[in-house]
Amino acid sequence: MTTLRQLEYLVRIVDEGSFTRAAALLHVSQPALSHQVRALEHAVGGALLERLPRAVRLTPMGRALLPHARTALAEAERARCAARRAAGLERGEVQVATVYSVTLGVLPPVLRAWHRAYEGVRVRLFEHRHADELAEAMLAGQADLAIGPPPPNWDGPVRPLGEEEFVVVLPPGDPAVPAAATQIELGRLATRDWVHYAPGHGLADVLDRAAAHAGFRPHAAVRTEQTAAAPILAAAGLGPALVPASIVPDPFGGRVLRVDPPLRRPLAAFSRAEPDPLSAAFLDLLTRHAPPLPAHVRAVLPTARLS
């Protein structure tokens, strides 16, 4: 018989890429972890993992089972929360999946307003590097609500939230543009070394596509996994960076320039089914407290159109 614990063990091994690391995080011995995986494989009728010298890899049967395992664990967690709410043990939880840039730039004022209005209701965040990963996680039942670039052909409710504006960040006094300029064509930076993003990061795709449209391929001076690091590294002089305007910190020591022509991508909230009352309340605050551009960025981009 397949158990939730066995499914949890499988998911953790896959996420960590190692029996040893998974066992440490789960606080079980490695032999006990291996025994449970073998029991799960016996229950489903075949091998789920291929043990390699330095890693593990899913078999075709394992790849077929994994999304269902994630869904089962997510549903079990929601059932636990519902039962505790009914027993008066907790006052609720909203589970929100998103991408890194939204966590940094869009959600802080929303979460601040939520805490004031619903102090007893927790928000649990699941953060992803790429919009494709976000959509896959939502299909697997990870969260109640997702916020990010809307996936194409999504089979569920989608609420548009406007557009995310991208800006170019440069160090103070950069010779590429006049001191009074507020915008720049990406092609003018074609020969520069860029602050780029790590492979697999969603913003790496945004920069590569925008540069290709401008007729060049960006050469990376440095690649960062951390979205918040890109504007800081650019301001320090490592190279220009293309970042969502909402993540530019305040105060900020670098130059912020609007892209010419403007570069934006849509943002939306989406879910598998109609939002429950808590999720609907979160959506309402989201639409009222998530500015398209933070005030300190609007101040240096006077021609920027708010979406």
Q: What is the pLDDT of residues 223-241, one digit of tens each?
A: 999 999 999 999 999 999 9
Q: d(Cα 66, Cα 156) in Å, to the nearest integer? A: 22
- pLDDT (mean) for 90-98: 81
Question: What integer pLDDT is reported at residue 295 of this predicted model?
Answer: 66
Omega before 261 cis (within 30°)?
yes
- pLDDT on residue 78: 76
Q: With H, G, I as helix, E, B as strand and everything else as coil, classify residue 299.
A: coil
pTM for the complete prediction? 0.69
Q: Is pLDDT larger for residue 109 or for residue 212?
A: 212
In this predicted structure, the answer to whether residue 302 has a pLDDT above a threshold of 60 is: no
- Check residues 202 and 250 and name the one with the higher pLDDT: 202
SS3 content of the chain, % helix, strand, coil (to 5): 45, 20, 35
Percent of the chain past pLDDT 90, that is, above it, reads 42
Residue 89, sorted as left (phi over 0), alpha (psi -120 to 50) or beta, turns out to be alpha
**Torsion sign across C-alpha atoms 196, 199, 202, 207:** positive
Residue 304 has pLDDT above 60, yes or no: no
Residues 6 or more apart whose Cβ sits within 8 Å of residue 10: 37, 40, 48, 49, 62, 65, 66, 69
Q: Are 254 and 172 in contact (CB under 8 A)?
A: yes
* Residues 268-294 pLDDT 10s: 999 988 888 888 889 988 988 776 566
